[in-house]
Amino acid sequence: MNNNLISRQIEEYISYKKALGYQIKIESQELRRFAAYTVSIGYEGSLTKDVAFQWATLKPDYSRWYMARRMETIRTFAKYICVLDPMAQMPPKGMFGKCHGRTTPYIFTEQELCILMQAAMDLSAPDGLRCKTVPTAIGLLWSTGMRPNEVCQLMDDDVDLNNGLITIRETKFSKSRIIPIHETATSKLRSYINDREKLRKDYSDRHFLITTGSRKLVLRNFENALKVIRDQILIDKNEWNRRPPRLYDIRHTFACNTLLRWLKNGINIDRKIIYLSTYLGHLKVEDTYWYLTGTPEILQLTSRSFEKHFYEGGASDEE
């Protein structure tokens, strides 16, 4: 690939950020895509507002959010390179509006997750591993609230079924944590191990979740499996007018179900939220609140709690 000016500057910027301790995995991927685009159109000059705009709006099906995020990535790089390159231009801020926003997650019902796990058992599996592994992976997401990539990265040594513990190592924010799992989950995982060992032909890969060819379950393949089976829970696809359910939505579902269970048991959420935050591997409690969605059942329970507090413990009619 031709090593044009922007390509060289981007590699310098990535090296600079990494030397400061930043991981910038996603940012570096996006910037290298931008560099590849400038090479593909034969562009040899410095960063300009026009070339940044062309890349951010490259395809007509890009959402406003995605275009805004692409432009934000370029602006971050531009702040660095404009100091070193007098010909570089800073793209204007807010060209596509805010780049961060919360898309309403899909909150699965227990029945829907059971349907997905059952459908996953019928996935194409040349050696039988895929149709055992994908349902187990979905079940792990459901019962633990782990990030999808954390599930895929688990090693055999990370899953301690004798003590009912899972170790999640060096994932997002370079944090590791140990989470307890319920005895019903350990039972299902033992069954999976028995099935896995009977079907696998190669023992060189020691990841806990393995699929076709006795190789680890890769996140991309896990996401593709969900795309194949999620139509099972979309009753009328022609009337579906929102983003399809994602693996990450199962994590949102876990957080909401935990909150709902606490509300039903009269537990003070403000005092317990730190436990959920730690369990999910968040740096800040604010990150955990981001996961909580106002489902009808949660709103009903919180309304009752508010009414009880207001009428029984607080204000009188005269106040």
The helix-helix angle for 296-313 and 248-264 (nearest 10°) equals: 30
Helical H runs in the chain? 5-19, 25-40, 49-56, 64-84, 110-120, 130-144, 148-153, 183-199, 219-229, 248-264, 269-280, 285-289, 296-313
Which whole number is the average pLDDT over 230-256?
Answer: 81
Which amino acid is it at 76? Answer: T
* Percent above pLDDT 90 for the chain: 60
Q: Looking at 22-36, 79-93, 133-147, 182-196, which range is the least confident one? A: 22-36
Band (22; pLDDT cuts 50, 70, 90): confident
Phi-psi region for residue 109, left (φ > 0), alpha (ψ -120 to 50) or beta?
beta
Of 58, 45, 34, 53, nearest to 4 by C-alpha is 45
d(CA 220, CA 185): 24
Which whole number is the average pLDDT over 284-308?
Answer: 59
Which whole number is the average pLDDT over 159-184?
Answer: 88
Q: Is 159 helix (H, G, I), strand (E, B) or coil?
A: strand
14 pLDDT more than 60? yes
Instruction: For the chain, give the mean pLDDT.
Output: 86
| Residue 43 structure tokens | 């562009």
Q: Is 156 in contact with 146 (CB distance < 8 Å)?
A: no
Quick one: pLDDT at residue 38? 96
| Residue 178 structure tokens | 């140990």
Q: Is 129 in contact with 122 (CB distance < 8 Å)?
A: no
CA dist 308 to 141, 263, 266, 271, 298, Å?
35, 13, 12, 19, 15
Quick one: pLDDT at residue 316? 39
Q: Looking at 16-20, 278-282, 290-294, which range is the least confident one? A: 290-294
Contacts by 177-181, CB closer than 8 A, 24 or more apart = 177/278, 177/279, 177/281, 179/144, 179/146, 179/279, 181/143, 181/144
CB atoms within 10 A of CB 149: 14
Quick one: pLDDT at residue 295? 55
Which amino acid is it at 104? Answer: T
| CB-neighbour burial class of residue 179 (10 A; exposed 0-12, middle 13-18, buried 19+) | middle
Quick one: pLDDT at residue 24? 84
More confident of the two residues 266 and 80:
80
Which whole number is the average pLDDT over 182-201?
Answer: 96
32-85 tens-digit pLDDT: 999 999 999 999 999 999 999 999 999 988 888 889 989 999 999 999 999 999
d(CA 216, CA 237): 32
178, β-bridge pairs: 167
* Percent above pLDDT 70 for the chain: 84
Q: Going by C-beta distance under 8 Å and a sequence separation of 6 or more, which residues neighbour residue 158?
A: 166, 167, 168, 169, 208
Rg (CA), the chain: 24
CA dihedral over 202, 207, 208, 212, signed as positive or negative: negative
Quick one: pLDDT at residue 173? 60
132-150 tens-digit pLDDT: 999 999 999 999 999 999 9
